Amino acid sequence: MSFNSLADLLLSQRDDTIIAFDADGDISWQQFVLDVRHLIQAINSKPCQSIAICCDDSYFFLVAFFATIYANKKVVLPGNHQPAMLLSLASEFDLLIDDGQVTQAAEKDLTQQLFQQTSITLPLTKQSLTSVADVDFFALDLTAIEITLFTSGSTGTPKAIKKTLLSLQEEVQNLQDNFGHFLAHSRVVSTVSHQHIYGLLFRVLWPLCAGTAFARKDIIYPEQVIANGTMQHTLISSPALLKRLLDEGQQGHYCAVFSSGGPLSSAASDLCKQLLNQTAIEVFGSTETGGIGYRQQQTAESVWTFFSKVIIKLNADNCLLLNSPWLSEKLDVTLADAASVDGYYQTSDQCELLDNHQFRLKGRVDHIVKIEEKRVSLIEVETHLNALEWISESAVVVVTEPHRTTLGALLALTAQGEQQLATLGKGKFWIKLRQSLRDWVEPVAIPRHFRIAPEIPMNRQGKRLQQEIAGLFK
């Protein structure tokens, strides 16, 4: 199967090619093209300009993705499907396409507010299908098509990251150039969501361009990862799941294993080799920067290699400054909201540069943290806590436990909060706080530990005493 660019992908002749699969069977290219045509017709019947796509099924997601593009609408990809979070992003879109998951997850009142906006649920009903004779595909102008993703920002609200389809094409081409031989002989299964840049590229766009079938549904449990481990499968995963693999006497044997979202620990890397019979290919990058580099761990000190098209240097704090084909356009158009130094994108990743285009990671210097390989903004969690009538101020910190990393929240209560605490007791009050956060943030971002203080400790300059705060959770 030849590799196709996103620009002319829908013009390619692949009628008998299988593009997606699940336990119920395979989906052909011909069916995919037909479903895209039908959805374009459905979109064109709605008054909208920007479309939020929230599908758990990766096949439905791709149908919505390309139908939105060919209907000449803007693509918006929320970071999660929590109803309150979607409602807070309502100004970003005027049509929602889902596969039923948003409706099922939302409480009734939130559902009513959310679906006051126009919505389409996939699959389309037979009654809604119309003739597609007048729907034609054409070569796309990749520079003119904008995709909006959301990631945790430093302001306490989800940060919109805009990418052109050209930047995604450049990344897909980079993956094919470096790793295409794996997909030539395998299908793709995944534990990560297509709503984020890693899953969008590795799980759906790259396989689609390469003519490789992908699994429609997530692999959720470690035992499923091992059970799906055959040489006919390439696994797209993350440390959050790979570190939970259990040696129960069974082994998988993947064609390849990719991991991103954070560096694999030595123990997780060893588990991957032992139970999946592959040394994971770890990919380092972010939504803002795209792919930066990769490695395969042989020891705990294994270094990273920059992708060949990435241009790098360090600033005075030894943080990476980057440029690349998939980043250069962002530097041109978003200098106002992206840290830029002489045409380079400024990251918060401290590194040591080595010979042969290699580097060693030294850690991050900002307030975005990784919990279970998901980006979590401590400020965002604090913002939602502070919005509660029981909280006057909060400080959220990372808590390192023996077998996992979680969050802790130091709280200064209002009078109403003190009354609620006295009435409910600590246990029930903590449960109430977590329930209040559940509609706003993903489960890993909900603090597991709480402490009460009259006020948040600060020094004379108004700076928080972070060590003192962190010490309260030891």
202 and 225 Cβ atoms separated by less than 8 Å: no
Report the alpha-carbon distance of residue 155 to residue 363 in Å, rounded.
21
What's the burial of 470, exposed, middle or buried (CB within 10 Å: 0-12/13-18/19+)?
middle
Question: H or E stretch including 22?
Answer: strand 18-22
Q: Which residue has the higher pLDDT, 19 or 467?
A: 19
Calculate the CA 474 to chain-centre distance: 31
| Mean pLDDT value of segment 349-365 | 88
Residue 237 in domain: yes
* Domain-located, residue 3: no
Model pLDDT, residue 333: 40
| pLDDT confidence of residue 107 | 54
Q: How far is CA 12 from its chain centroid?
A: 29
Which pLDDT score is estimated for 110? Answer: 58
Which of 122-131, 177-186, 373-382, 394-403 shows the lowest per-residue confidence on average (mean pLDDT)?
A: 122-131
Q: At 377, is the pLDDT very low, low, confident or very high (cuts 50, 70, 90)?
A: confident
What is the arithmetic mean of pLDDT over 42-62?
95
pLDDT on residue 338? 44
Per-position DSSP letters for 258-313, written without gaps between them: EEESSPPPHHHHHHHHHHHSS--EEEEEETTTEEEEEEE-SSTTPPEEE-TT-EEE
Q: How confident is the model at residue 462 (pLDDT cuts 50, 70, 90)?
A: very low
Q: Residue 2: its pLDDT value, please?
A: 83
CA distances from 269 to 224, 235, 240, 241, 253 (A): 18, 14, 12, 12, 15
Residue where one domain finishes, among candidates 118, 142, 164: 164
Same domain, 245 and 339: yes
Kindly state whether residues 348 and 454 are assigned to the same domain.
Answer: no
Residue 370: band (very low, low, confident or very high) from pLDDT cuts 50, 70, 90: confident
The radius of gyration computed from the CA coordinates of the chain, to the nearest angstrom, equals: 23
The mean predicted confidence, pLDDT, of the chain is: 88
pLDDT digits (tens, 9 = 90+) for 191-200: 999 999 999 9
The reply to whether 97 and 224 lie within a common domain is no
Q: What is the pLDDT, as a whole number, of residue 332?
A: 47
| Tokens, residue 465 | 């005493």
Share above pLDDT 70 across residues of the chain, in percent, rounded to a whole number:
89
pLDDT of residue 328: 61
pLDDT of residue 48: 93
225: CATH? 3.40.50.12780
Residue 397 sits in a domain whose CATH number is: 3.30.300.30
**Residue that is last in its domain, among 108, 140, 164:** 164
46: Cα within 13 Å, side-chain hemisphere:
23
Predicted pLDDT of residue 151? 78
**pLDDT at 330 exceeding the cut of 60:** no
The answer to whether residue 2 is domain-embedded is no
Is residue 399 located within the same domain as residue 278? no
Residue 88 and residue 209 in one domain = no
Q: Please choose, from the candidates 438, 440, 439, 420, the residue with its C-alpha nearest in 3D space to the C-alpha of residue 428.
A: 420
**Cα 38 to Cα 49: distance, rounded to the nearest angstrom:** 18
Query: In this structure, are residues 297 and 269 in contact, taking their beta carbons and an 8 Å threshold?
Result: yes
Tell me whether residue 415 is in a domain: yes
* Number of compact structural domains in the chain: 3
Query: For residue 177, is it within any domain?
Result: yes
Query: Is the same domain home to 112 and 31?
Result: yes
**Which of the listed ranges 74-83, 110-119, 277-286 does the model predict with the highest average pLDDT?**
277-286
Q: Is residue 283 domain-shared with residue 340, that is, in the same domain? A: yes
Alpha helices in 142-254 (DSSP H): 165-183, 197-199, 206-210, 222-227, 239-242
Is residue 384 scored above 50 in pLDDT?
yes
Residues 85 and 211 in one domain: no
- pLDDT 10s digits, 12-35: 989 889 999 999 999 999 999 999
Final residue belonging to a domain, choices 164, 191, 225: 164
Q: Could you tell me the residue range of the domain that residue 224 belongs to? A: 167-364
Residue 241 lies in a domain: yes
pLDDT in tens, 124-163: 987 677 766 678 899 999 999 999 998 755 444 678 999 9
- Asked if 181 and 306 sit in the same domain, the reply is yes
Q: What tokens were used for 151?
A: 């990631």
Region 233-258: mean pLDDT is: 90
> pLDDT digits over 283-324, tens only?
999 888 999 999 999 987 899 999 999 999 998 888 899 999
390 domain residue, yes or no: yes
Q: Are residues 393 and 300 in the same domain?
A: no
Q: CA distances (Å), 285 to each of 50, 78, 293, 389, in order?
A: 27, 19, 7, 38
Residue 4 lies in a domain: no
Residue 235 has pLDDT above 50, yes or no: yes
Find the Cα–Cα–Cα–Cα dihedral 426, 427, 428, 433, rounded to 10°.
80
State the DSSP H helix or E strand holding residue 111, giving kind and residue range, or none if neither: helix 108-114
Among the ranges given (131-135, 274-278, 358-362), the one the predictor scored with the smallest mean pLDDT? 131-135
Q: Mean pLDDT across the stretch 166-187? A: 96
Which residue's structure tokens are 């250069």? 328
pLDDT higher than 50, residue 118: yes
Measure the CA–CA gap between 457 and 264, rounded to whole angstroms. Answer: 35
My answer on whether 374 and 276 are in the same domain is no
153 with 174, same domain?
A: no
